[in-house]
Amino acid sequence: MASYDNPEVVEREVKDREDKEDKKDEEKSGFIDKVKDFIHDIGEKIEETIGFGKPTADVTAIHLPHINLEKVDIVVDVLVKNPNPIPIPLIDINYLIESEGRKLFSGLIPDAGTIHAHGSETVKIPLCLVYDDIKNTYDDIKPGSIIPYRIKVDLIVDVPVFGRLTLPLEKTGEIPIPYKPDIDLEKIHFEKFSFEETIATLHLKLENKNDFDLGLNDIDYEVWLSGVSIGCADLEKSAKLEKNGITYIDIPITFRPKDCGSALWDMIRGRGTGYSMKGNIHVDTPFGAMKLPISKEGGLLRLVLLGLGAVRLSTMLLFSSFSS
């Protein structure tokens, strides 16, 4: 009787054949594992003997060297350590900046340099974030706000024995979207009257519309009354502009009343006079120093003087008009 006439014999033959195939697969798998272990052991021995190793990298700092209303410059410091006896090239640097999962911008820096043998170097990655690009893409990002960010950096290096490696890095933080303060000239207080020189104090109102404080260090601007410049003023002491708040500061100014034409006459008569201001304020912020523009066009200023002050100023201006 043939084996195919006996189902039990056929089943046994099939099982024996499957067992042999499984045994071959196990032997093959075991051989591959041994080869892998051998290669790994050889790699470790080469690394131990020759001194080759994988480089490491870490983001040590993030700087914001320049911030204004248009953009923010970002510099990422990456410390790369090379344990190998030969220099290794930085092939490419890929970077991405995102905020809450939204891509702000990305880029590539090719041929980023070489890390010396058995050395470490800080690689500086310069980035630039243009605010208009962000605001045009995401409507909910408003001027004056602070947004979280995540910087992702991939350093691609070429190392003997190991080949091409990618060193991924990440760093998080916050960046501001600055907004220029509003400025108003509330009033002028005259300290000393003189035909050639008058000393006065400008009472300024500054509104900080940012979600962060501004430490006012300096202010440079020019003031015009009825289109006539009365000069510049200097800040005598620093001031703190509270976030989303209003701050009043006093700034002394010296000018010649005879150069103001009818501007002071109009103020004394209660008519008021138009004024404008333009310049910059220099402030400290949690994100670094900033220079922010300030401007006011078409303001209206009234002057209220009582008693002797009004008489003296009126006499001075009257004399000025006769002598001109």
Mean pLDDT is highest, among 81-85, 195-199, 204-208, for: 204-208
Task: Write the CB contacts of 313 (distance below 8 Å, at least 6 apart in sequence).
Answer: 190, 193, 257, 264, 268, 305
> Rounded to whole angstroms, how far apart are CA atoms 225 and 263?
6
Quick one: pLDDT at residue 304? Answer: 46
Q: Do 56-176 and 182-323 share a fold?
A: yes
Domains of the chain, by residue range, sit at: 56-176, 182-323
Q: Which CATH architecture has domain 56-176?
A: Sandwich (2.60)
pLDDT band (50, 70, 90) for residue 118: confident
Quick one: pLDDT at residue 219? Answer: 86
Where are the extended beta strands (E) located within the chain?
A: 56-67, 71-82, 88-99, 102-115, 119-130, 146-159, 163-176, 182-192, 198-208, 214-225, 228-232, 239-241, 245-255, 273-285, 288-301
Q: Which CATH architecture has domain 182-323?
A: Sandwich (2.60)
Q: What is the pLDDT of residues 35-46, one digit of tens each?
A: 555 555 554 554
Q: What is the mean pLDDT of residues 136-150?
A: 87
Q: In this structure, how many other beta carbons lie within 10 angstroms of the beta carbon of residue 92?
A: 16
> Rounded to whole angstroms, how far apart are CA atoms 117 and 89?
11
DSSP 116: P
Who has greater pLDDT, 246 or 193?
246
Who has greater pLDDT, 19 or 84?
84
Give me 140's structure tokens: 């909910």
pLDDT band (50, 70, 90) for residue 311: very low
Quick one: pLDDT at residue 170? Answer: 92
Please name which of 213, 208, 196, 317 lies closest in space to residue 264, comparing C-alpha atoms: 317
* pLDDT at residue 84 tops 90: no
CA angle, residues 107, 112, 114, in degrees to nearest 5: 160
- Residue type at 257? P
> Rounded to whole angstroms, how far apart are CA atoms 85 and 324?
85
CA angle, residues 163, 169, 173, in degrees to nearest 5: 170
If you count them, how many residues does the chain have?
Answer: 324
DSSP 244: T
3-state SS assignment for residue 43: helix
Quick one: pLDDT at residue 310? Answer: 47
